[in-house]
Structure 1
Amino acid sequence: MDHFEGVTPEQRWKNDMLREVRRINANMEQLLKQDHPQDEVETVDQPEQMELIPEPKQERKVKPSGTKSG
Protein backbone atom coordinates (compact mmCIF):
# COMPACT_ATOMS: atom_id res chain seq x y z
CA MET A 1 0.00 0.00 0.00
CA ASP A 2 1.36 3.46 -0.93
CA HIS A 3 1.10 6.09 1.76
CA PHE A 4 1.65 9.79 1.30
CA GLU A 5 4.49 10.69 3.64
CA GLY A 6 3.86 14.42 3.48
CA VAL A 7 6.06 17.30 2.47
CA THR A 8 9.72 17.05 3.41
CA PRO A 9 11.41 19.98 5.17
CA GLU A 10 13.43 20.67 2.00
CA GLN A 11 10.27 20.79 -0.14
CA ARG A 12 8.60 23.05 2.42
CA TRP A 13 11.61 25.39 2.36
CA LYS A 14 11.62 25.47 -1.46
CA ASN A 15 7.90 26.24 -1.52
CA ASP A 16 8.42 29.03 1.02
CA MET A 17 11.24 30.50 -1.06
CA LEU A 18 9.17 30.31 -4.25
CA ARG A 19 6.27 32.02 -2.49
CA GLU A 20 8.62 34.74 -1.20
CA VAL A 21 10.14 35.32 -4.67
CA ARG A 22 6.67 35.64 -6.19
CA ARG A 23 5.68 38.15 -3.49
CA ILE A 24 8.85 40.19 -4.09
CA ASN A 25 8.25 40.17 -7.87
CA ALA A 26 4.66 41.37 -7.38
CA ASN A 27 5.88 44.18 -5.10
CA MET A 28 8.59 45.18 -7.57
CA GLU A 29 6.12 45.31 -10.46
CA GLN A 30 3.79 47.45 -8.36
CA LEU A 31 6.61 49.85 -7.48
CA LEU A 32 7.72 50.10 -11.10
CA LYS A 33 4.19 50.94 -12.20
CA GLN A 34 4.02 53.71 -9.56
CA ASP A 35 7.38 55.18 -10.61
CA HIS A 36 6.61 55.12 -14.34
CA PRO A 37 3.07 55.81 -15.47
CA GLN A 38 1.89 53.64 -18.38
CA ASP A 39 2.70 56.24 -21.05
CA GLU A 40 6.33 56.51 -19.88
CA VAL A 41 7.01 52.78 -19.58
CA GLU A 42 7.89 52.42 -23.27
CA THR A 43 10.57 55.15 -23.23
CA VAL A 44 13.32 53.96 -20.93
CA ASP A 45 16.11 56.42 -20.15
CA GLN A 46 19.46 55.28 -21.44
CA PRO A 47 22.50 55.70 -19.18
CA GLU A 48 24.77 58.58 -20.05
CA GLN A 49 27.70 57.59 -22.24
CA MET A 50 31.00 58.62 -20.67
CA GLU A 51 34.13 59.32 -22.68
CA LEU A 52 37.26 57.58 -21.47
CA ILE A 53 40.25 59.87 -21.07
CA PRO A 54 43.59 58.03 -21.36
CA GLU A 55 46.02 58.45 -18.48
CA PRO A 56 49.16 60.43 -19.30
CA LYS A 57 52.15 58.20 -19.96
CA GLN A 58 55.03 58.56 -17.56
CA GLU A 59 58.48 58.72 -19.06
CA ARG A 60 60.71 55.86 -17.97
CA LYS A 61 64.10 56.65 -16.56
CA VAL A 62 66.77 55.04 -18.69
CA LYS A 63 69.96 53.87 -16.97
CA PRO A 64 73.23 54.46 -18.72
CA SER A 65 74.22 51.31 -20.59
CA GLY A 66 77.64 51.00 -18.85
CA THR A 67 76.37 50.53 -15.29
CA LYS A 68 75.54 47.29 -13.48
CA SER A 69 72.36 46.95 -11.53
CA GLY A 70 72.40 45.63 -7.96
Structure 2
Amino acid sequence: ELPAGYATMIFAAALPPVWFWIMDRRLMQFYNYDIERANLHPAKAAKLRKKWNRIAAQQPAAVTAGQES
Protein backbone atom coordinates (compact mmCIF):
# COMPACT_ATOMS: atom_id res chain seq x y z
CA GLU A 1 0.00 0.00 0.00
CA LEU A 2 1.38 3.36 -1.01
CA PRO A 3 1.60 6.08 1.64
CA ALA A 4 0.00 8.48 -0.86
CA GLY A 5 -1.55 8.39 -4.32
CA TYR A 6 0.27 7.39 -7.49
CA ALA A 7 0.90 10.98 -8.59
CA THR A 8 2.42 11.87 -5.23
CA MET A 9 4.68 8.81 -5.27
CA ILE A 10 5.82 9.51 -8.85
CA PHE A 11 6.75 13.02 -7.72
CA ALA A 12 8.57 11.60 -4.69
CA ALA A 13 10.47 9.10 -6.88
CA ALA A 14 11.69 11.98 -9.04
CA LEU A 15 13.31 13.53 -5.96
CA PRO A 16 15.49 10.88 -4.28
CA PRO A 17 15.80 12.67 -0.90
CA VAL A 18 12.00 12.84 -0.66
CA TRP A 19 11.65 9.19 -1.73
CA PHE A 20 14.12 7.95 0.88
CA TRP A 21 12.58 10.18 3.57
CA ILE A 22 9.21 8.50 2.96
CA MET A 23 10.26 4.93 2.23
CA ASP A 24 13.01 4.54 4.85
CA ARG A 25 10.46 5.20 7.58
CA ARG A 26 7.98 2.74 6.06
CA LEU A 27 10.70 0.10 5.74
CA MET A 28 11.78 0.50 9.35
CA GLN A 29 8.17 0.32 10.55
CA PHE A 30 7.81 -2.91 8.56
CA TYR A 31 10.92 -4.34 10.24
CA ASN A 32 9.82 -3.07 13.69
CA TYR A 33 12.85 -0.75 13.75
CA ASP A 34 15.30 -3.70 13.62
CA ILE A 35 17.94 -2.31 11.24
CA GLU A 36 19.74 -5.67 11.05
CA ARG A 37 16.84 -7.16 9.07
CA ALA A 38 17.30 -4.64 6.24
CA ASN A 39 19.76 -5.03 3.38
CA LEU A 40 22.27 -2.19 3.81
CA HIS A 41 24.86 -0.79 1.43
CA PRO A 42 28.21 -1.62 3.13
CA ALA A 43 29.56 1.91 2.74
CA LYS A 44 26.50 3.40 4.46
CA ALA A 45 25.76 0.67 7.01
CA ALA A 46 27.43 2.28 10.05
CA LYS A 47 25.73 5.64 9.50
CA LEU A 48 22.31 4.00 8.98
CA ARG A 49 22.70 1.79 12.07
CA LYS A 50 23.54 4.82 14.20
CA LYS A 51 20.57 6.78 12.84
CA TRP A 52 17.96 4.02 13.10
CA ASN A 53 19.12 2.65 16.45
CA ARG A 54 18.68 6.16 17.87
CA ILE A 55 15.19 6.43 16.34
CA ALA A 56 14.25 2.92 17.53
CA ALA A 57 15.19 3.88 21.09
CA GLN A 58 12.63 6.69 20.91
CA GLN A 59 9.77 4.39 19.83
CA PRO A 60 7.22 3.13 22.38
CA ALA A 61 7.97 -0.33 23.74
CA ALA A 62 4.74 -1.67 22.18
CA VAL A 63 6.06 -0.89 18.68
CA THR A 64 9.39 -2.70 19.08
CA ALA A 65 8.15 -5.52 21.35
CA GLY A 66 6.54 -7.49 18.53
CA GLN A 67 9.80 -8.22 16.74
CA GLU A 68 10.06 -11.59 15.06
CA SER A 69 13.27 -13.56 15.17
TM-score category of the 2 structures, normalised to the smaller one: under 0.3
More helix by share: 2
TM-score when scaled to structure 2? 0.27
TM-score when scaled to structure 1? 0.27
Flag the structure with larger Rg.
1
